[in-house]
């Protein structure tokens, strides 16, 4: 059995292009020099900052490290080099560092590769990179690749409550914003095409986010534990939501699935308290089963009229036809509206975000979803 697993892992490494960059199960000589743990990576001609270092205050990593009388350039950081270091406040990465590397035994392909070595560094306000570094860069304290097409790591301790990701960024890396508890909102440009696993996981004060329409997959755990997330716009081109993507988003009350969405992963909405779910398209059978497992019957589901009976057979709660209720992505009151009520039948002065009951001047009523 162990041999079979080893063969599978080896094949995946080559398929994903990681055979050349693997670091074994590290398996390299280690030494603490100047308070930092290093690995000697002679094959690559340099040293690596090893896992789980501690540091108080500001740290300026050296470009050269003396290892038993010989100087080696610092060429890599471990992907968990400073994970959980709660006393690191700022860091300067020297010009010699080429990449953040990950043990092949844990992560295989790009979407799984963590290049966020400062996860859980709750006091870290700024990540800096030496100006003459040819592989990495930083802007506003955020770590990127050199040409700023990939965002690797946002500093958890940054005080700002809003961050705008620059135009030109295409990928937001695994765990890039994980546990950044000060952020309330993030603006993502239309150039972004992929947001990888656990990207915003544990951002407990994140209230709102709009995903660009280029996003087709929301990867596993992407927004898990965002307990204050009240509103999220799902892209029109979204086709899949992976496992635990919105797990424990306890403030999320409503969500609209776009027409192209077909696949929902296990636990995608686990421990959420959705009041309203609008499904504009057709989910596959397995996805429906997994989705309904996350709902306790209190969520009102709106589906295409042709799908109503299918859902009613599987779900204990209320299922209503999307077309028959008049629910739409409206933003203004219908021109004939005379009175507006909430779902409990109470008259309100103006339409609220969510589902409203509209009594028109001709006496007819309809339900309208306002975003």
Predicted confidence pLDDT, tens digits, the chain (371 residues): 544 434 333 334 433 433 333 343 368 899 999 999 999 999 999 999 998 999 999 999 999 999 999 999 999 999 889 999 999 999 999 999 999 987 543 444 566 667 889 999 999 999 999 999 999 999 999 999 999 999 999 999 999 999 999 999 999 999 999 999 999 999 999 999 999 999 999 999 999 888 999 999 999 999 999 999 988 889 999 999 999 999 999 999 999 999 999 999 999 999 999 999 999 999 999 999 999 999 999 999 999 999 999 999 999 999 999 864 444 443 344 444 457 766 655 667 777 767 777 766 555 566 676 65
Residue 34 in tokens? 């100047």
Q: What is the three-class DSSP state of 8? A: helix
Confidence (pLDDT) at 216: 96
Alpha carbon distance 270, 253 (integer Å): 13
Q: Do the strands 36-41 and 171-172 form a parallel or antiparallel pair, or are they unpaired?
A: unpaired
Using CA atoms, how far apart are residues 206 and 259, in angstroms rounded to an integer? Answer: 26
- C-alpha pair distances (Å), 132 with each of 95, 117, 135, 153, 314: 6, 21, 9, 20, 60
> What pLDDT was estimated at residue 15?
38
Write down all domains in the chain, each with its CATH number in brackets: 21-159 (3.80.10.10), 165-324 (3.80.10.10), 326-371 (no CATH)
Give the model's pLDDT for residue 272.
95
Can you give the pLDDT at residue 190?
Answer: 94
pLDDT at 182: 96
Burial class of 328 by CB neighbour count within 10 A (0 to 12, 13 to 18, 19+): middle
pLDDT of residue 210: 87
Euclidean distance between CA atoms 170 and 163, whole angstroms: 16
Residue 124: closest CA among 142, 101, 106 = 142
What is the reported pLDDT for 103? 55
End-to-end CA distance of the chain: 53
The pLDDT, as a whole number, for residue 360 is 65
Q: What is the pLDDT of residue 229?
A: 95
What's the whole-model pTM score?
0.79
| Torsion angle defined by CA atoms of residues 7, 10, 11 and 16, in that order, rounded to the nearest 10 degrees | 160
């Amino acid at each position: 059995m162990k041999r079979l697993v080893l063969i599978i892992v080896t094949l995946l490494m080559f398929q994903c292009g990681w055979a050349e960059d693997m670091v074994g199960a590290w398996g390299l000589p280690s030494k603490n020099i100047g308070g930092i743990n290093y690995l000697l990576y002679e094959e690559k001609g340099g040293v690596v900052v090893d896992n789980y270092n501690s540091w108080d205050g500001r740290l300026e990593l050296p470009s050269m490290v003396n290892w038993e009388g010989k100087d080696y350039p610092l060429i890599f950081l471990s992907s968990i080099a400073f994970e959980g270091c709660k006393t690191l406040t700022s860091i300067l990465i020297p010009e010699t560092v080429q990449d953040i590397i990950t043990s092949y035994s844990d992560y295989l392909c790009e979407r799984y590769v963590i290049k966020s070595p400062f996860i859980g560094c709750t006091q870290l306000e700024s990540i800096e990179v030496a100006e003459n570094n040819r592989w990495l860069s930083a802007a506003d304290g955020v770590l990127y690749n050199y040409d700023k097409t990939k965002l690797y790591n946002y500093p958890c301790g940054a005080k700002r409550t809003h961050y705008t990701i620059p135009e030109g960024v295409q990928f937001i890396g695994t765990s890039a914003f994980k546990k950044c508890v000060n952020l309330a909102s993030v603006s993502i440009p239309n150039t972004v095409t992929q947001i990888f696993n656990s990207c915003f996981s544990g951002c407990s004060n994140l209230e709102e986010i709009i995903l660009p329409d280029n996003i087709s997959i929301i990867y596993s755990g992407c927004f898990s534990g965002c307990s204050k997330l009240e509103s999220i716009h799902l892209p029109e081109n979204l086709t899949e939501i992976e496992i635990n993507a919105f797990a424990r988003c306890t403030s999320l009350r409503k969500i609209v699935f776009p027409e192209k969405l077909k696949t929902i992963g296990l636990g995608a909405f686990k421990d959420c308290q959705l009041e309203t779910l609008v499904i504009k398209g057709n989910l596959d059978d397995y996805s429906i089963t997994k989705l309904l497992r996350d709902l306790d019957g209190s969520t009102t589901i709106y589906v295409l009229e042709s799908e109503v009976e299918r859902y009613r057979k599987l779900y204990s709660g209320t299922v209503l036809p999307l077309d028959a209720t008049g629910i739409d992505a409206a933003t203004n009151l219908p021109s004939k509206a005379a009175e507006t009520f909430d779902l409990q039948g109470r008259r309100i002065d103006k339409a609220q975000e969510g589902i409203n009951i509209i009594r028109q001047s001709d006496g007819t009523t309809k339900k309208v979803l306002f975003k």
